[in-house]
Structures are given as C-alpha cells and as structure tokens.
Structure 1
Amino acid sequence: MRINFPRRVRTGWRRWIPSWRLVIGAVFATAVVSVGAFALAVVLTPIPEPNDIARAQTSIVFWNDGTTELGRLGDVNRVDVTLSDVPLHVQRAVLAAEDREFYNHGGFSPTGVARAVWNNVSGGSTQGASTITQQYAKNAFLSQERSLLRKAKELVLSVKLETTVSKDQILGDYLNTVYFGRGAYGIESAARAYFGVPASKLTVAQGAMLAALLKSPEGMSPDRAPERLRARWNYVLDGMVTVGWLTPAQRARQRFPQVNERSSSGQPSGTTGYLLDAVRQELTQHDITEAQLGIGGLRIVSTFDQTMQAAAVQAVQDQGPTEGTAGLRIGLVSVRPGTGEVVALYGGADYRTSPLNNATQAIGQAGSTFKPFALAAALRSGITLDSIWNGDNARDIGGYTVVNYGDKSWGDISLLTATENSVNSVYVDVENTVGVDPVAEAAIAAGIPVDTAGLTRNLTFVLGTSSPHALDLAHSYATFAARGMEATPSTITRVEGPGGSVLYQAETRSRVAFEPGVADSVNYALSKVVTDGTGAAAQALGRPAAGKTGTTNDNRSAWFVGYTPQLATAVMMVKDGPEGQPISLSGTGGLDTVTGGSFPARIWTAAMAGELQGSEVLNFVDPVNVSPSPTPTPSPTPTPSPT
C-alpha cells in the first residue's frame, strides 16, 4: 500500500496536510505498537522473589565534611504477618483508604496513570502510585526517583504481579512493607507502635486510623496533626460504608481510638538527636518521605560542623547555670550569614528524655532583641544614629505608658546611646514616629516568620512581646551580618540515593532585605552594645562583634543574639513550670533576675570563641555618615541596663 503523503491531488502548502485516513492510521499503528511493546515488557520482565525484596537500608546523616557520620535515621521496625492474621475489617479499611477497586482492576488505574503522566510532563506535583499494586511495586522493586521511566517500570511490574501472584498475596505483601510512621513498617509493627496490640487484635476504629495514616504518615501524625488525621479517619470509615463493608449503624458506633504516646526507644541520646530531628524535619520540605528515610538507604550531608557543634555544647555545659535549673530550657543555634547554613545547634541536653528542640521548637518572648528591627526601619526612613530622643521613664507615647528598665530616666540621648543601653522609651518613640508597620515589615524582611506567636502590630512590638524561636533570631541577625542579605536557614547540603544519584542538592536561597548602608549602621550600633552597653560580657570574644540583649519585664525569658561578619548565634533561656507553663527565671543560677547580659551572653561568648577558633578576624564595614564624636551626656548619668 502506497502512502499518499505529501498529497498528490493538492497543491501548495495543502499538500502537507495529512488526510484523516492517514492520521487515524498513524494513531492506530502507534497504539498497536505501544500495546505490543507493553505486553512484551510484561512477558519478559522477571519478578524478584518476595524474600529478596523490600530490604531495608538505614539512611545515614553526615557532618558537613560529607564523610564523618553524624547519625542514622529510619531504624527499621517490621514484623511480617500472614494476611489471615490481619482482621478482615482492617484489610477493608486499608482498601477503603487506598484502593477500593483493588479486587476488580488489573493492577493500575488508567485515569491515575494519565494524571501522573500529565503532571510529570506539565511540571506539576508528581502523583504517586494510585493502586495498592502500584504502591507495592514501587516500594518493593523500584527506586524512589520521580520520572516517567520509573512510572513505566511501575506499570509493567504491577501488571506482571497481577498475572503472576494472587490478589491476597499482593495485599499481604503490601501490608507487611508499607510505612505507617513512627518507624513502623508493616501492619504488625504499626499496631504495636500506636496501640500496643498485635495486628490480629485491631478494632475497626484502630484499623481505620492506621489506614488513614498511609496517605501521609508524618503529615497526619497523631503527634503533630491530630485534626488532619481525624478527618482522614472519618473519610476511611465513610468509604467503608459506601462500599458496603460497614453498616451505617456500625459506622455511628465508631469513636476515634486512644493512641499510645510515642516511644523514644531507639532514638539517639544526648544532643545529637536534636540535629537529626532538624534534618528529618527539613527533608520533608524537599519531598523526601519518611518511607524513603526508612528503607531508602539515603546518604544525607548536613550543614552541621562537628567542631562548631562540640564548641556550642561545651559552652552551654561550662557557662550555663548549675542551680535552680528545674524546668530550664537553653536553646542555641549558629547560622552562617549569606548562606543560611546552620552549623551548630543545641536543642537540649538529651533528646531521648526531652525531644522538644529548644533551638527550633521552643519559644520565648523576644524582649529587646526586637529593637534592631525598629532601628533598621528608622534608618530606612532617614533617621540617623546621632538624632536626639527623650529617654525619660514612664513617658506616655501613643496611649502607652512606657517604663524603662529599673525605672531609669535617661534625659535627652542619641539613638546610638539608646541602642547601647536598650532604652525602652526611646525605642517606642522611634516606632511611634516611623510607624508600627514599617518596623514589623523590617522584622519580617530580616527573617522573623509571619506566623510567630504573638506577632501583633502595636506599639509594644518593638519591646519584643512576640515569641520567636532561637533559630528565627539567629537567622534575622545573620541578615544584618551579611550587610542586608537574607538567606533561608538550612540544615541539609545534599541527599543521595543508595546508588549515588542526587535526590536533592541545596542552593542558597537569598534576597536583599536591607540596603547595605542600613545594615552597616545597624552593625555599628549593635557593636557599641558590646563595647559600651548591655552586651559587655561578649567583649571576651576578643574580636569585632555586634549583638543585643533581651530580657522581659516578668523575667520569663533572657536572650543574647550576636554575630561577627562570618557567624551569627542566638542563645535563649526560658523556664517551664510543673504543668509546662512558662515561669520566671528568677532564682536560676542563684540570680534574682536573669538578664540577657548574664548567662546568655556568657554562653554566647564561649560558643562563638570555640566555633570561630582559627578563623580569620574580620571587621564590619564602617557605616557612612556616623559621627565619631561622643554622644550627649544624659542626665542623670546612665549606667548600663540589662534589658
């Protein structure tokens, strides 16, 4: 048969338009070839023996040198059981959650495959395997890479499985290998991890909860997202009613099950656990799932520096208080300006006994550490460091009576002197003059998250009534250290698969938050806090440094946040009462009042000294238009304030 193309009966450009017969023939031929190739692939593709599949490989986290092991993630917890050991209502709950047509399809859902292909081609979110057979094929036989080739292999293996083994065997193998969170692989380990019972004793409600977890074991964790989990649990039970596996009356009797507390057994002890947890949390932001961590054999290079981390831990141990420490939390985190790399992190003394990370999860009222944001906003608006302000105590400003630390009146002083000595009345006046919104926007631009607890836009904003994490303030002050360049904090440099394929490669995410001249003036003012003001304890560092103390009126938090041109570190101290409520630091370390210039500044100095040992001594860039002459002497003569 001769193909009439280009078309002889047409002239000009119309000769190159194929006839409808040719188009239909081409489509038909392509379909036949594709189906034939797929069928041939199914026939020729071997399936590994069940005992040789799903071999778990622990994921290893390295220090930033890429070779020294920091710790391991995803210790495997799996006990295989037969499908007959899993109650029918539990099997059906899983099917209702993941694949209601499991016993009717041939291994894959055509609509699901089309959706996955479209998202891969269009650049949208990558769709996972939709049927249980596909999920099992991916987890048991394939890598976790996201590509059309992997999806094609998944389809071939799914059909091969369906034509080789029984549906019950596929379901049983799936239930033994799928990840449920809490380090539990398989239904047996999951039943014990969440409810302390074997799979054979799971109730309908318990089975539905475990099935609900499969969509996102960490995203719907009862420890972190109980409301999302409950909503998915309802979806599973409603699905069982829809299919006919539960009656409406049975459904109405179901109550959300009581979940056991998460066990810390097997978790790393000491300070290392906080580093690994921080890495784990960030991995989820880069589409690395808990399942991949558990059985993927990943190699994860962190940003943590082993020497700097040791210095940070030693600083807390050497300089932290030793008496009155019940309920005390100390958080420390060090960030590289310009890159956002977190090089050291002290989240607590022992992750196993207290898994809340004091550096990234615990919060404390910021106090005067927020004043530099008002300073930056003022400088942006044209106000200078040598401008004169009224530093009297108990001034009425914008409807607020502003009290200085120790009820001290400072008289007329420069903005620089007010910064050195953390004078509340001057800074509230500055904020009132510039506007609360510009001050708040400066804080957010520097790195304070918009959703920070208590981040309310009123005149108390500059006094630090909100409660950030230590990482937030280290991040924000690093922006000043980098001359206004804000960089998103990161704990991960690279993630590799077991074969060396790169699954994630970090790139610095930075932007200009402040003009260099503004940042230079902030740096100069905060360096005077160290040389002439409330941060005098940091002078022992022996190199140019800038920083700010922070102490709240009720003494429920104490901070020192400071930096050199190449490193920013935040130290936070807070205290929990018997019920976990924040209480005063009074009495800690034998002090009536714990200020930011006391333990936090001493810890900061020791940590920075160790972390920067052997590194080049750098100076800050001199600001433009800052008068070197002394500021006016206030009346009465000021003494440093510890706020």
Structure 2
Amino acid sequence: MSPATTQGAGAGVGPGGNPPSKARKPRRRRSGWARFLTWFGLAVVALLALGAAGVAYLYATIDIPEPNPASQAQISTVYFADGKTEMGRLTGGTNRENVPLSTVPDHVQKAFLAAEDRSFYSNNGVSPSGIARAIKVSLEGGATQGGSTITQQYVKNTFLTSDQTIQRKLKEIIISVKLDQQRSKDQILEDYLNTIYFGRSASGIQTASKAYFGKDVSQLTPAEGALLASVIRGPSIYDPSRSAANLTRSKERVSWILDAMVELGWLTTQQRSQAVYPTVAKAKPIEITGGTNGYLVDLAKKELVSRAKLDEDDIAKGGLRIVTTVDQKYQEAMIEAIADRGAAEDIEGAQTGMSAVEPGTGAIKALYGGTDFAKRPYNNAVDAHLSAGSTFKAYTLVGALQNGYSTRSRVSGSSPYQVPGTSDEIENEFNQQYGWIDLRQAAADSVNTAFVRLNNAITPAATKKAAVDAGIPDNTKVNVEENLTNTLGTATPSVLDNTNGYATIAAEGKRATPHIIASVKSTDGEVDYTASTSTTQAIDRDVAVDVTEALTHPITEGTASYAQRVRRPAAGKTGTAEDHKEVWFIGYVPQLAAGCAIYKPSEDGRTNVPLGRNVGGYKYCVPIWTQFMRTVMDGVEEKDFPERVGVNDDSRKNIGTRPRSTSTSSPDGSSDSTRTPGTSETSRPSATATSSAPEPSDAPTQGTPTGPSEPTQSAVPTRTARQQPTAPAPPSPSQAVGATTAAGTG
C-alpha cells in the first residue's frame, strides 16, 4: 500500500477500522441540588396531575351522606293546653329544638359569622387559606384542625365523625363544596345554628338560649348572641359560670366579636357601646320531669304510642311539640285542693289520686298522680286500681232504667239482706235500717241492701253492661264481675276510668275516650296529629238525664252534702270500700266531671290497709272536690242539668212487695214508709235512733275546710225508725255473692 493510501486511511479510520473521533469539549457535571430540583419539579407536576385526578375521582364518587341520627335528634317538649306554657320534656332525645333562621335575630347571626366565618356568604363552602393551614399542620405531624368554614363545621357535625385525619378532612371539603352548590346559604346557616353544640347539654341555638339566658332565641341581644358565638369554641373554657378564668376568657372573646361586627359594618358604634357583657344563668342539669307534672308528661309519652300511633323511633328522634288538654289553672287548683283538704297530714302513708275530664270530649283537664314522679313514678290516678265502693251504684241505676225501672221505683232498705239459697248476708253501713224508699233516696243515703236487691232484680250483668257502656274497661285489671255485689264496687277501676264513666252520664250518655294529648307536631313536619273528640251514644240520653237527677240527691240531702258549697247544680256519689281501705267521691257539673280517691298501700305495696273506721268518701274526697270545683268554675257560666225525663215512671216497677209500715209523705209527694235517714258517712247512728240527713257546717273539723258562711241545708224530714220486716224474697235467684258484708258503702 502506498503512503498516500495509508495516510488517507489513517485519517479517516481509527483503530480497529472505526472512523477517527472528533475532538470534544469536556462535560460540566450538574450539582446534586440541581438534580434534586429537577426531580422535585417533575414529582410536583406528577402529584398535581395525580392530585387533580384524585380530587376529580373523589368528587365524582363521594355523595352527601344521610345525616347522623344524633345530629338530627331533638328534645320533645310537652305544653299545657295554651300551647305556650312548658309542662316538661321527654327524656331520651338530644336537648335540641330546631328553629327557622327567621326567628334568630340578624345581629345574632352576624355574631356567629364574625366569630367563625366572615366570608360565609361569598365563599364556596371552603376556605383555601384555611385548608392550606390545616395541611401544613398535618405535614408537621399535628392534627388536622382549624381552618373550617361554617359549612365545613356543619358537614363535620352532621355527616361525618370527629376523626382528625387527612381522609376525613378531604371528605369534609368535598361534601362542603357539594353542599354549598345544592343548598342556599341561609339554609346552611339555619342548619348549622340548629346543630352546633353549646355545652350545658344544649344542642342548637334555641336550647342554648334557654340554657344560658332563660329566654327564647328571638329575644337575644347582640351581647348575648356574641357570648353564644364564643362558647362554641369550647364550652369547657368559655362557659363563664365554670371558673374565674373562663369568665375572663369569655369577656375577651365577646368583646373581640362585637368589635369585629363594628369593623364589618354589622353593628353601629352606638350599639356597640350599649352591648355590655350579659348576665348568664346558672347551669342546670337536665333531669326527668318530677313533681306533679312528671305524671302528666309520662302519661303523654305513653299516649304518643297508644293514640298518636308513634313508634319508639319517632319518639327517640324527638323534635315533637306536644300540646296537652291539661289546663294549668285546673291543675294548680287540683294540687292546692289536695294540699289543703287531703288526708296526708292525718293519715301517714295515705295516697291521693284525682282526675278531671270534660264531658263530651274526654279531654283530661287536670290529673293528680302523686307528689313527685321522680321519687314515686306510680300514678295514683291511672296505675292504682281501687275497689270502687258505692260509686258503682251509679251504673246500677243506669242498668235499672234500662230494664224497666224508674228512679221513683221503690225497694226495701232493711238490713241485713240474706241472699236466698245461701247463708250470706249483706248489711248496710253500721247495719242501719231504712224503709220502703225510692232509688233516688237509696242513692242519697247509699243504702247497700236496697242496691243489692235492685241488682238482683235487674241481674248483675245489667250493672256490668252499664259500667262498661259508660267507659269502665272490661279487663282483668278492673275485673267487673257479674256477681250480686258488683253494685257495691268490687270492681277496681282507676280514678281516671271511673271519672270518665261519670263524665259519660254527665254528657247525657255520650261516651268519649279520655285523652291527655290535644295535638302533636314535629319540627320536620312528618308528624301532625290532632286528637279525636268523637263520642258514642253509649247510654240512652233520657236514661242518663234521669240518673243525673238521681245523683243530685247525695249532694242535696245525702252523704255528699258538703258539696253544696260549690253553689251550682252538681251531681255525684261517694264511695267507701270494704274495711275503709279506699274512699271516693266522683261528681260533676254540666261542664266538668272530677273524681278523687284516697287509699293507703301496705309496706310491701301488695295490698291496701284500712284508712280508719271514721274515714269515708265524705271526709276528705268531698271537700277536695268542692274546693277544686269552686276554683275552676269561678267565672264560668252556671248551667243547669236537663230536666228529669221520668223514664218508666208511667209503668213504674218496684222491687219486691211493700213492707207493712206506717206511711208518711215522701219529698216527691208519694207515699213512703218510715225509715231512718242515712248518715252512714257522717256519724255512726243507732239502728233505731231518730236522725236527720247531714247538713253542711262551717265549723272546722278534721279534714273539713273552714270557710265563709254557707247556706245551711234543710234537714230531710225526720221519720221515726221502727223494726223493719224481713226483706221480701227477690223475684229471681241470686248469682254468686262476692262478699258477705258491705263491699262498698256510701
């Protein structure tokens, strides 16, 4: 190869046959910091891309969930009949009472915005700067807290948990944005104010207003609103009643909020100068409604299920506004009458139950179940089933008129009465003797043997039917048996049962169901209930009218003569159960029926023990009833009962045959035999002594009130007592007798 060729090859080809390399500049190596920035930038871009995609994914997949049940639960409030006066609250719900935003004063709303979210009406439900602060704290290892708008706070309290994690915070942000798009700002603010917790067991601004200031939210001042806005930051450190340090912190924050409102143009300088630090009420724990109101609230709660047909979930959710039929004036009058005239001071352990029912509607106007529901949640007017005594004779009168008898029909009142075919005997109180008397006089003097003879004539089934028709429950608790002595009150109705039975007679035979709830509404509108006041013509009108006239006689001339002090037409019947274990009086005026019973439970509560031999229905129950009726009827139009119809007068039947005796003129002008007028509830007469009917007296006696001078009742004409002939045999065999002595007396 020539040199030329060799040179050319050498110039164009390098070692190993490769082209020769060109001369290169040496490379500058990048520092580690530059490489880090490059990779960090790429990472940020990637994260932003991933973050945007992730946020988009989360936004698409996260829906607004159903609210937490606890966040929606409210307290249910029970009111007296005026719908304004609070009676008590049902336990079991959250102490919350939702209110519309329109009832919250504007200056109170602005106090919360100044304290929590000044851009509320302009932001999109979240605060970017607040979110940045929260993320920074989280990256530094702290909890994700702070930086929340009002919308975010509402979302956290209503839809989420209080977990302080990134995941929960992301859900909070996304739901807040969605919520802001779907609801108006006013609705979100209303929901927030009704949800936020204020301490003192108060959730929502309405209950907080009552807890801290004892007033409705609509009455809050700017300073009071600022205090409530401050306390939500932490009730344990801002409730001024807890400590001096709390008071100092509270004053500083209230001042800060009010100053901010001025800066934002939400409060004038003059208003600010007038906004002094408010007086805060002492914190009170939420307790079960006690006292006498507790029995009413408990009865209303039970009626929510039995009549309003609400289930336990409806009641637990709360938010119910329950208006009762109970008139506060009537309730206070009943409590006062029992305190003034009752047996508690005279008979240790005596219990009183009383109720008042409006004839024709069944509305419970007042009810006394005991002194304190919190200490003894046993309702004397509803839970106690007491031997009815002679109050049951009213139903036998109904049965008699339904079976061909008249209230002028006559029957022997001699004592004892031997039940045919048995060795059983039934006596009058103190074995007192009566003659050939009509049914009105038998009611006036509460003559046991006369009513047992009558009951045998019409059959005990007729008395039971009349009682059940009137409203006495036919169940095992009441146990209205078909035996001869059911007329003497062997059945055990509650005071409310028996009062309602008399209310049926007072309403001219129209039976209504007794009820304590007038209406129920829920704040969410899902519950809207109004009680029915429909009636059933359970007893013929004319029969009821004549029975009412007959029941005026115990007051005008018999065992309940003290009730004349009510000074208006009234009817009623006393009752004293066997051995004086339970005593009664149930009476009515045309507009109202009321019943009272007194009993004394044994130490183990299984039975009742005698109240005392001299204690009858006349002694305490009649004065209690009289004082109550006089108070509640004061100023109410006086009405007369309908005139007596005279059912079956034309075909009047008597029971048995008339005994041979000396005749005198009876009060209604018809012939009557001699008798000893009844005083079985006022004194213990001799079986042959001459006596007169009890007269009202203003002289103070045990269990009898002292009052202004009252008109004295004219005595029933005295009739000479004589040996009574043996009672005639009844027209039909008796059914089984429930007792051999008086099961019930006057």
Q: What TM-score bracket applies, with the shorter chain setting the length?
A: 0.5 to 0.7
- Cα distance in structure 1, aligned partners of 2:344 and 2:321: 39
Return the alpha-carbon distance in structure 2 between the equivalents of residues 48 and 472 of structure 1.
45
Amino acid at match of 1:359: A
Deviations 1:562-590 (A, max 9, x none): 00111000101010111113333434xxx
Q: Is the 8 A contact 2:303 2:517 kept in 1?
A: yes
Do the aligned residues in 2 keep the contact of 1:397 with 1:429 (CA within 8 Å)?
A: no
Q: Which residue of 1 aligns with 2:299?
A: 278
d(CA) in 2 for partners of 1:292, 1:446: 33
Q: Which residue of 2 aligns with 1:258?
A: none
Confirm or deny: 8 A CA contact 1:386 1:415 kept in the other structure: yes
Q: Following TM superposition, by how much is the alpha carbon of 1:616 offset from its aligned partner in structure 2, in angstroms? A: 0.9
1:200 is matched with none
CA distance in 2, matches of 1:448, 1:546: 19
- Which of residues 589, 613, 627 in structure 1 aligns to 2:634? 613
Partner of 1:74: 91
Gap runs ≥5 in structure 1: 1-41, 79-139, 142-263
1:59 to 76, 79, 82: 76
Which whole-Å CA distance do the structure 2 matches of 1:374 and 1:584 have between them?
27
**Structure-1 residue corresponding to 2:288:** 267
CA distance in structure 2 between the partners assigned to 1:549 and 1:49 by the alignment: 58
Instruction: Using the TM superposition, name which of 545-554 and 498-507 deviates more.
Output: 498-507
Question: Which string of whole-angstrom CA distances, capped at 9 and with x for unpartnered residues, describes residues 279-328 of structure 1?
Answer: 01111112223433333211011111011101011110111124343321
Deviation at 1:53, TM superposition (A): 5.6
Q: 1:397 to 1:55 in 2, by over 3 A?
A: same
1:380-395 matched pairs, under 5 angstroms: 380-395=402-417
Q: Kindly provide the CA deviation profile for residues 115-162 of structure 1, in whole angstroms up to 9, marking residues without a partner as x.
A: xxxxxxxxxxxxxxxxxxxxxxxxx99xxxxxxxxxxxxxxxxxxxxx
Partners of 1:533 and 1:641 within 8 A in 2: no
- For 1:395 and 1:48, the matched residues in 2 are separated by 74
The aligned counterpart of 2:469 is: 445
> Residues of 2 paired with 1:490 and 1:460: CA distance?
30
Partner of 1:428: 452
Supply the distance in 1 between the matched residues of 2:67 and 2:312 (Cα, whole angstroms).
25
| Alignment partners' CA distance in 2, 1:585 and 1:267 | 33
Matched with 2:323 is: 301
User: What per-residue deviation string (whole Å, max 9, x for no partner) do you get for residues 237-288 of structure 1?
Assistant: xxxxxxxxxxxxxxxxxxxxxxxxxxx9921221010000110111111222
> Structure 1 CA distance, aligned partners of 2:525 and 2:426?
60
Letter aligned with residue 55 of structure 1? Q
Q: How does 1:347-362 map to 2 (within 5 A)?
A: 347-362=369-384
User: How far has the Cα of 1:552 moved from its partner?
Assistant: 1.5
Q: Is the 8 A contact 2:599 2:611 kept in 1?
A: no
Task: Tell me which of 549, 572, 580 is aligned to 1:547.
Answer: 572
Instruction: State the match for 2:198 in structure 1.
Output: none
Does the C-alpha gap of structure 1 residues 523 and 43 become closer, same or farther in structure 2, counting only changes over 3 Å? farther
2:508 is equivalent to residue 483 of structure 1: yes
TM-score (norm 1): 0.62
1:13 aligns to what? none
Is it true that 1:46 corresponds to 2:85 in the alignment? no
Which moves more between the two structures, 518-527 or 391-400?
391-400
Q: Distance in 2 between matches of 1:355 and 1:265?
A: 18
Distance 1:636 1:508, change over 3 A: closer
Report the 3-state secondary structure (helix = DSSP H, G, I; strand = E; otherwise coil) of the residue aligned with 1:568: strand
CA distance in 2, matches of 1:335, 1:546: 15
Counterpart-to-counterpart distance in 2, 1:501 and 1:49: 16
CA distance in 1, matches of 2:526, 2:508: 36
Query: Percent identity among equivalent residues?
Result: 37
**Out of 541, 546, 550, which is 1:516 matched to?**
541
Question: Which of 357, 364, 376 does residue 335 from structure 1 map onto?
Answer: 357
1:569 aligns with 2:569: no
Q: Distance in 2 between the 1:514 and 1:609 partners? A: 29
Amino acid at match of 1:571: C
> Could you say if the C-alpha distance between residues 46 and 520 of structure 1 is closer, same or farther in structure 2, counting changes exceeding 3 Å?
same
Q: Which structure 2 residues correspond to residues 94-105 of structure 1 after superposition, within 5 A?
A: none
Aligned-residue offset at 1:541: 0.7
Task: State the 1:450 CA deviation.
Answer: 0.3
User: For residues 325 and 278 of structure 1, what CA distance do their matches in structure 2 show?
Assistant: 28
Superposed CA RMSD in Å reads 2.4
Query: What's the TM-score, normalizing by structure 2?
Result: 0.53
Residues in 2 aligned to 1:275 and 1:421: alpha-carbon distance in whole angstroms: 35
Partner of 1:416: 440
Partner of 1:168: none
Structure 1 contact 368–462 (Cα < 8 Å) conserved: yes
Number of the residue aligned with 2:678 = 639
Deviation at 1:499, TM superposition (A): 3.1
Contact 1:547/1:563, CA 8 A, preserved across alignment: yes
**Cross-structure match for 2:201:** none
Corresponding residue SS for 1:313: helix
Greater Rg over alpha carbons, structure: 2
User: Which residue of the partner structure matches residue 104 of structure 1?
Assistant: none
Alpha-carbon distance in structure 2 between the residues aligned to 1:317 and 1:597 = 17
| 1:159-558 paired onto structure 2 within 5 Å | 266-285=287-306, 286-398=308-420, 399=422, 400-451=424-475, 452-558=477-583
In the alignment, residue 414 of structure 2 is paired with which amino acid?
A: D
Q: Distance in 2 between matches of 1:443 and 1:322?
A: 31
SS at match of 2:573: strand
What amino acid does structure 2 have at the position aligned with 1:635? T
